[in-house]
Amino acid sequence: MEPLPLHLCKPYKLSSILNRLYSLIHVTALTSLIYYRVSSLASTPLASLPAQLLVFALELLLSLLWLLNQAYLWNPVSRRVFPERLPENEQNLPAIDVFICTADPKKEPPLEVMNTVLSAMALDYPSKKLHVYLSDDAGSALTLLALRQACAFASSWLPFCRRFGIKTRCPKRKYELFKEHIRIAEEEKSSATDKINPSIVEVIIDKSDDEVRTNQVEMPLLVYVSREKRPPHPHHFKAGALNCLLRVSSILSNSPYILVLDCDMYCNDPTSAKQAMCFHLDPKLSPSLAFVQFPQKFHNISSNDIYDSQLRTTFQVRWPGMDGIQGPMLSGTCFYMKREALYGIFLQKELHHLKESFGPSNELIISLQRSNQRKTIGNGTLSSTLQQEAQFLASYNYETNTLWGKQARWKSVFCNPSRSAFLGSATSSLNDTLVQGTRWNCGLLEVTFSKCSPPLYGLSRMPLLQTMCYSYYALQPFYSLPLWCLASVPQLCLINGISLYPKVSSPWFVIFSSIFLCSLLKHLVDVLVTGGSVQTWCNEQRIWMIKSLTCYTYGTIDAILKCFGMKQPCFSPTNKVSDDEQAKLHQLGMAWRKDTGLVPASVALLSFVLSIIFLLLGSVVLSSKFGSGDFGNGSGGDGHGGVGHSGGDGHSGGGGHSDGDEGNVGGDDGNGSGDGRGGHASDGSGGGGGAVAAAAAATAAMAAMATAATMAIMTATTATTATTMTAATATTAVTMTAAAAMTASAYMAAAEDT
């Protein structure tokens, strides 16, 4: 009899059909738009040709990004696991190494880091099969002392969890004595370290004489690792820290599976390890499976979630969509990885080739041929030989002239259980959110500019849809260019008599408006289906606009500077220090500035005053451009035909121009031009098309002026990156949305329709 399956995969058939139908309709509309652009270029005056080509190129870029984004919606699936069907004898389960990385005790409080360590040690898994490694890139004595205190506390905490079946293994507010020890250590020890850090590898054991130790169960192995860093030699930040832990753990525990966690991402469900094993131990799936990805979720999300900190689109739309193709991307945390997958095809090579790939360490080479052989460690100390070898593996130049990390291929699955497996701390201030987003987008573009660029490197190595998914994230920062240009160029062209879009009465206008409205509606439906609200939809639209103007822009600039060697690589950890006042405002849905709290009223007032000034100037420009009084002349081209200035006494200006056709009608006795093509209307009812177009032109011009005011404020507030971002977003959130109503937003929302 065939054993019951450890997991089930269920496709979202209805959602898939609706998504594909929407994609077909949208592609048809985009094709019509492209046809309109190409056909109108032949009749475009030479003076307006550069603007037409620029807008056309930007629309093509946005259409490409939208098309890439549709790959996530092609075949979404959900998975269900059955941990109770795993082998009854837990000693038959494979061993797991847990990697936790921290880099700065000032931004990542040791107390929060120890919460994560304790929760990992308390996983519902055999203690002999569990090994926890903490990488401290700061080499902080405070972090090391805190880890020793955590080990002493765990000797009584872990048996308590197992005895009473406590689900949440992160002991928040239940260990006052432990917290007091950490606070005393923070006062006595400085967290600052020299830039040159020697390699440190220490096995942590509880050396206290507590009576509880005599009756406690065996503790998981706990190891502190601080790798050697010697500037200016590169150490590759978090990736380098994980590589170091991979090497050191290979000669100590060498578990076949690895759990990677950020220092603030504690284990909320102790059964997550067994859930992951439901995939890794499936004989049909296991040979090709590299890792099981869990979603990142956060315990401090406000009800409004004004910064979209829950990453709803990523973990509720895109990752399930990728799971239906060949598996989600590696999210950097909350995943169970197969160690063998990281070694790639190099394991099949001969000894001298292995040393070229993995370095000169004999112990490391030997560990490649075996797994799950935990070294015997007496009294918590390593033998001198093993200690020396571990420190050698943690040295700054071990990877030099090797093929370490050059090649690896894998398949993955996405597991999203009803109870959050892991919970972390989301950013609760606008500054931290934007700085973090800038770092992410800079990293994405660095991959784009590398030899492993997904659009080029991945096409011959991955399925088409999976390549599209990776390419979307690789090109995502380029949203900034179309947004800035389409929020300003069309309006400036309008002021100068260069029209770019069809008039309202034209059938082509339906194409532009349908793309805009259908995209917004599709995004709204996705939000509601995944449990969000209309307010969530509004917040996501707003924060996306803000991030596009700031994070995508600054991330692109940073990546380009690094590419040309004009900026040195740097890493600034996200600030995890909690602030009661900041947290309170965040829960209330209020923006927070790091320096002065709420966005200063002076910034908002300055934005308002400048916007009014530019709006008035815009009105003067339009009046002088298109005429005034009883009669006026309007020019439009193929974008805003019949833009005339209405006069008094029922008279209407004439002289509309549309698609190369001219029509002039005198304005007398209530007669005026209807659509700029020579039509007449009587009894004061004329000028319909011209009036609508005139109103549209005035609105667009006003929006352009407001955009100019915003750009002026941004230029004036470039003291620091974080301050610039905050000042810019304080004014652009409203003005840019209005400026891009029928231009940028029509395509921005289309491309971000998930």
Question: What is the DSSP annotation of 61-120?
Answer: HHHHHHHHHGGGGSS-EEEEE-GGGS-SSGGGSPPEEEEEEE--TTTS-HHHHHHHHHHH
Which of 57-66, 434-443, 454-463, 699-708 is predicted with the least confidence, judged by mean pLDDT? 699-708
Q: Which among 160-164, 216-220, 741-745 has the top mean pLDDT?
A: 160-164
Spatial separation of the C-alpha atoms in residues 480 and 550, rounded to whole Å: 8
The whole-number pLDDT of residue 302 equals 81
- On the question of pLDDT at 668 being above 90, the answer is no
The whole-number pLDDT of residue 329 equals 93
Quote the tokens at residue 159. Answer: 């048996």
Which of 207-211, 459-463, 732-736 is predicted with the least confidence, judged by mean pLDDT? 732-736
Give the dihedral sign, CA 119/120/125/127.
negative
Spatial separation of the C-alpha atoms in residues 153 and 513, rounded to whole Å: 62
Spatial separation of the C-alpha atoms in residues 731 and 391, rounded to whole Å: 52
Per residue in 494-542, pLDDT (tens digit) is: 888 888 889 899 999 999 999 999 999 999 999 999 999 999 999 999 9
**Residue of 474, 419, 424 whose CA lies nearest to 451:** 474
Identify the three-state secondary structure at position 207.
coil
Q: Which among 39-48, 296-305, 466-475 has the top mean pLDDT?
A: 466-475
The whole-number average pLDDT for the span 563-570 is: 81
CA–CA distances in Å: residue 456 to residues 57, 61, 468, 479: 21, 17, 11, 20
Spatial separation of the C-alpha atoms in residues 346 and 361, rounded to whole Å: 15
The whole-number pLDDT of residue 671 equals 39
Quote the tokens at residue 629. Answer: 């009084």
Q: Strand locations in 512-669, DSSP E?
A: 656-658, 661-663
Give percent of the chain with pLDDT exceeding 70: 68
Per residue in 2-40, pLDDT (tens digit) is: 788 999 999 999 999 999 999 999 999 999 999 999 999
Per residue in 103-145, pLDDT (tens digit) is: 988 889 888 999 999 999 999 999 999 999 999 998 888 999 9
245 in Cβ contact with 260 (< 8 Å): no
Give percent of the chain with pLDDT exceeding 90: 40
Global pTM?
A: 0.77
- On the question of pLDDT at 701 being above 50, the answer is no
The whole-number average pLDDT for the span 420-448 is: 91
Nearest-5° angle of CA 299, CA 302, CA 308?
Answer: 95
**Considering the chain, what is the average pLDDT of its residues?**
77
Spatial separation of the C-alpha atoms in residues 32 and 54, rounded to whole Å: 18
The whole-number pLDDT of residue 630 equals 38
Higher pLDDT, 639 or 334: 334
Dmax (CA) of the chain: 105
- On the question of pLDDT at 344 being above 90, the answer is no
Q: Which among 108-122, 231-245, 564-578, 703-717 has the top mean pLDDT?
A: 108-122
Which of 272-286, 396-410, 412-426 is predicted with the least confidence, judged by mean pLDDT? 396-410
- Phi, psi of 251, rounded to the nearest 5 degrees: -100, -5
Cβ-proximal residues to 74 (8 Å cutoff; 6+ apart), any chain: 16, 19, 20, 321, 324, 325, 465
- On the question of pLDDT at 85 being above 90, the answer is yes
The whole-number pLDDT of residue 374 equals 61
Distance of alpha carbon 424 from the chain centroid: 15
Q: Which among 219-233, 312-326, 643-657 has the top mean pLDDT?
A: 312-326
The whole-number average pLDDT for the span 341-366 is: 74
Q: Strand locations in 189-267, DSSP E?
A: 200-204, 221-226, 257-262, 266-267
261 - beta bridge partners? 100
Per residue in 587-631, pLDDT (tens digit) is: 666 555 444 445 556 656 665 665 566 555 555 544 554 444 433
Length of the chain counted residue by residue: 754
The whole-number pLDDT of residue 601 equals 61
The alpha helices in 329-379, defined as continuous H runs, are: 339-343, 351-358, 362-367
The whole-number pLDDT of residue 342 equals 85
The whole-number pLDDT of residue 628 equals 42
The whole-number average pLDDT for the span 406-428 is: 87
CA–CA distances in Å: residue 77 to residues 16, 37, 328, 492, 640: 9, 38, 11, 46, 46
40 in Cβ contact with 52 (< 8 Å): yes
When computed from its CA atoms, the radius of gyration of the chain, rounded to whole angstroms, is 31
- On the question of pLDDT at 487 being above 70, the answer is yes
CB neighbourhood size of 180 (10 A): 11
Spatial separation of the C-alpha atoms in residues 436 and 307, rounded to whole Å: 12
